[in-house]
């Protein structure tokens, strides 16, 4: 059993956000009150905050819905269910993307083209962001989702996929009533200038033939600000945006369905049917921006995307097409002056 695994029964009882006395918890779990107290002491390592009040017991500072595969399945369409070869929920893992890629390497993911294997975790100890950054991933508070899909038409056919995955997440969040969403090239989901979700695509296998596309998505649902202290960029979460808790299982189901649906459309028609939707959601359109690469910063004005999904950056030398990879875009201070 993992370290988190041994905490899970207690987390599960406390997930309702109500007070439970030490003796009640001890009775339910068949352990002593002091063992309960010791176990609760480990919650802070997971980023969970517990209130202990004499005479009342312990409570999490707000309720959490633990991820559950039956609840996720019940929110999926029949078509989506049929495309899932495997869905697993891990208590804790280094990174759901790294985990899925290890399974691929070890020959443990046997997928047909078009099928998905889905990997979720309550916590990531080394969550990966774009450009080698860490994705802070405390327990039970957010979504850490990886979907693997087999592609049999080579890596070129995947150009633009990261943009449509961003749109899929926006569609899912809008359907659930989240306001003010936008996308920043290539695929950051923002509200205002604050990051709500990010996507990390990794590709393995034969770049000209059969390859595996590993799509990782992190969505901030409700974070303890302390757990996010190490995050340098401005961030937000669904709780701040909607003022209420979000059923994470339902959110996962809707995101999975929308990702599957955009990828199906993308496979048939490429990016062309998504360009207008992407531009409509583009928070940087016509803004002064800085394109940051390793070692250089190029100023310009963001002019949307090309038909292949490249960023169109207007610079003093004219419009340049910028392809994805290790680059990122930030708003320039000129806009505010």
Contact residues toward ligand BTN (CB under 6 A) are 95-97, 124, 127-130, 133, 135, 144-146, 188, 198-200, 216-218
The upper half-sphere exposure of residue 137, i.e. CA atoms within 13 Å in the direction of its Cβ, equals: 28
Encode 217-239: b = buried (16+ Cβ within 10 Å), e = exposed: bbbbbbbeeebbeebeeebbbbb
Asked whether the beta carbons of 130 and 217 are under 8 A apart, the reply is no
Q: Containing H/E element for 58?
A: strand 57-60
* 3-14 helix and 22-29 helix, angle to the nearest 10 degrees: 120
Give the separation between CA 121 and CA 193, rounded to whole angstroms.
Answer: 27
Nearest CB to ligand BTN, comparing residues 195 and 303: 195
| Cβ-closest position to ligand BTN | 198
Nearer CB in complex with ligand BTN: 80/142: 142
For residue 39, the minimal CB distance to ligand BTN (Å) is 27
Instruction: Judge whether 130 counts as a catalytic residue.
Output: yes
Please, what is the Cα angle at 309 between 304 and 311, to 5 degrees? Answer: 45
174 is catalytic: no
Catalytic residue among 195, 222, 248, 303: 195
3-class DSSP state for residue 212?
strand
Measured in whole angstroms, the distance separating CA 61 from the mean position of its chain's CA atoms is 23
Active site residue 133: no
Lookup result for tokens 């004005």: 301
- The one-character DSSP state at 323 is -
- The nearest distance, CB 186 to ligand BTN, in angstroms, is 10
To ligand BTN, the closest distance from the beta carbon of 252 in angstroms equals 12
Catalytic residue of the set 59, 130, 222, 254: 130
Number of neighbours of residue 76 by Cβ within 10 angstroms: 19
Q: Which is nearer to ligand BTN, 18 or 131 (CB)?
A: 131
Q: Which of 33, 133, 194, 330 is catalytic?
A: 330
Of 130 and 303, nearer to ligand BTN (C-beta) is 130
Decide whether 217 or 305 has the Cβ nearer to ligand BTN.
Answer: 217
Taking the complex as a whole, the smallest distance from the CB of residue 179 to ligand BTN amounts, in Å, to 21
Which DSSP letter does residue 65 get? Answer: P
Task: Let me know: does 263 contact 280? Beta carbons within 8 Å.
Answer: no
138 or 218: whose CB is closer to ligand BTN? 218
Q: For residues 76 and 2, what is the distance between their CA atoms, to the nearest angstrom?
A: 29
Shortest Å, Cβ 314 to ligand BTN: 25
Task: Output the smallest distance, CB 280 to ligand BTN, in A.
Answer: 21
Confirm if 141 and 245 have CB atoms less than 8 A apart: no
Lookup: tokens for 330: 């930030």
Active site residues per annotation: 130, 195, 330
């Amino acid at each position: 059993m993992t370290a988190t695994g041994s905490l899970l029964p207690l987390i599960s009882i406390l997930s309702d956000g109500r007070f439970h006395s030490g003796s009640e918890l001890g009775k339910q779990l068949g352990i002593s009150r002091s063992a309960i107290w010791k176990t609760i002491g480990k919650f802070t390592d997971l980023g969970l905050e517990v209130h202990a009040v004499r005479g009342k017991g312990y409570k999490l500072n707000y309720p959490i819905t633990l991820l559950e595969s039956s609840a996720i399945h019940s929110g999926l369409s029949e078509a989506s269910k049929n495309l899932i070869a495997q869905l697993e929920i891990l208590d804790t893992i280094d990174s759901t993307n790294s985990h899925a890629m290890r399974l691929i390497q070890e020959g443990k993911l046997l997928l047909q083209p078009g099928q998905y294997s889905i990997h979720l975790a309550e916590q990531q100890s080394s969550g990966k962001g774009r450009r080698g950054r860490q994705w802070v991933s405390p327990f039970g508070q957010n979504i850490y989702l990886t979907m693997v899909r087999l592609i049999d038409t080579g890596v070129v056919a995947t150009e633009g996929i990261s943009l449509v995955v961003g749109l899929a997440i926006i569609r899912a969040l809008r359907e659930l009533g989240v306001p003010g969403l936008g996308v920043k090239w290539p695929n950051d989901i923002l509200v205002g200038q604050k990051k709500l979700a990010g996507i990390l695509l990794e590709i393995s296998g034969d770049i000209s033939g059969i390859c595996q596309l590993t799509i990782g998505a992190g969505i901030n649902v409700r974070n303890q600000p302390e757990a996010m202290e190490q995050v340098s960029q401005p961030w937000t979460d669904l709780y701040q945006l909607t003022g209420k808790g979000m059923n994470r299982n339902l959110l996962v189901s809707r995101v999975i369905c929308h990702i599957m649906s955009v990828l199906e459309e993308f496979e048939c028609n490429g990016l062309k049917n998504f360009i207008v939707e992407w531009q409509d959601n583009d928070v940087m359109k016509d803004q002064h921006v800085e394109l940051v690469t390793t070692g250089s910063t190029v100023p310009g004005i963001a002019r949307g995307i090309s038909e292949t999904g490249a960023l169109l950056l207007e610079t003093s030398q004219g419009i340049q097409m910028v392809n994805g990879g290790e680059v990122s875009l930030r708003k320039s201070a000129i806009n505010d002056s």
